[in-house]
Amino acid sequence: MFDVTLQFIVNGLVAGCFYALTAVGLTLIFGMMQIVNFAHGEFFVLGGMLAYVLTHFLGIPFAAAIPIVLVVMWIFGAFVDWALLSRMRDAPMISTALVTIGLSVFMMNTMLLVFGTEPKNIETGIGAAPLIIGTIVITKVRVITIFVSVAAIVAVHYLINHTRRGRAMRAVFQQKEAAALVGIPISQTYRFTFALGTTLAALSGILLGAVFVVHPTAAELATLKAFVVVILGGMGSFGGAIVGGLLLGVVESLWGGFISTGYMDVVGFLLVIGLLLVKPSGLFGMVGAREK
């Protein structure tokens, strides 16, 4: 029984890496820009779809396709901020939310038109032979997924807390007017933040497509789960997004393994409801104030 439970936990941690990576991007966008990005799932899916095109149709190795897709998605994220969001810097949050909903509908239908409705699996070129560590069985692709996710999250954490750009991001988040007075380019900082958040979502989509499959209709569920994770961890909390993602992945895996796979997607919402009844601010959220 213990061995089976341990296997489910490991499987849940793999899924939790996808959730955490996607939620970290959403947390950056919401926490620093105060934008509720309902198109986040579409960036997630688009990253996976572009990786599929590069590996399947162009024959580019998976390892080389990842940085190419990330650069393209960074540019696309910066373009979206320049074309849409920069014109609504001081607009009410509901207005920017409506814009991202429209962007979500546009991107999803465009991807359905271009890529079709069939699920796509990204070709990695990595053997399917599993690694056996004691009683745990895990594929090489899943191990790589964990390492890449952890490396990306650590890199973003270092960027935010130990670089000049990160200090500028935090300054804009804490007091935009004061940051502008000391010469920090507010619009450029917002653009960088949005591009970074969408690129993290795209990386998660690439890794998901390598382990499972990716398809345009998955965008809505990806967005919902990202919001579940962000709420679990606490709105605007970087560490909360990581813990919330891993927690959701493990809980879903244990539920699907011991109870039923038919209601796995409901578990996250039940978890959020239960947590908010006890701690309305989330696991790491601050009560009555925005986290800094």
Q: Please provide residue 39's backbone torsions phi and psi, each rounded to the nearest 5 degrees.
A: -95, 10
In tens, the pLDDT along 83-110 reads 999 999 889 999 999 999 999 999 999 9
- Determine, yes or no, domain membership for 213: yes
Local confidence band at 127 (pLDDT 50, 70, 90 cut-offs): confident
- Determine, yes or no, domain membership for 257: no
- Determine, yes or no, domain membership for 143: yes
- Determine, yes or no, domain membership for 288: no
What does DSSP assign to residue 201? H
What percentage of the chain carries pLDDT values higher than 70? 98
282 vs 20 pLDDT, higher one: 20
Q: Which two tokens stand for residue 185?
A: 């380019």
In whole angstroms, give the CA distance from residue 287 to residue 278: 12
pLDDT at 65 over 90: yes
- Determine, yes or no, domain membership for 54: yes
Mean pLDDT of 167-184: 90
Helix spans in 118-237 (H): 140-162, 164-174, 176-181, 186-211, 219-233
Domain count, the chain: 1
In whole angstroms, give the CA distance from residue 119 to residue 142: 19
Q: What is the pTM of this model?
A: 0.93
- Determine, yes or no, domain membership for 250: no
CB-based contact 168:179 (threshold 8 Å): yes
Q: Which two tokens stand for residue 224?
A: 């919902």
Helix spans in 34-61 (H): 40-52
Q: What is the span of the domain harbouring residue 200?
A: 21-218
- Determine, yes or no, domain membership for 276: no
Q: Please provide residue 139's backbone torsions phi and psi, each rounded to the nearest 5 degrees.
A: -80, 160
pLDDT at 289 over 60: no
- Determine, yes or no, domain membership for 138: yes
pLDDT at 181 over 70: yes
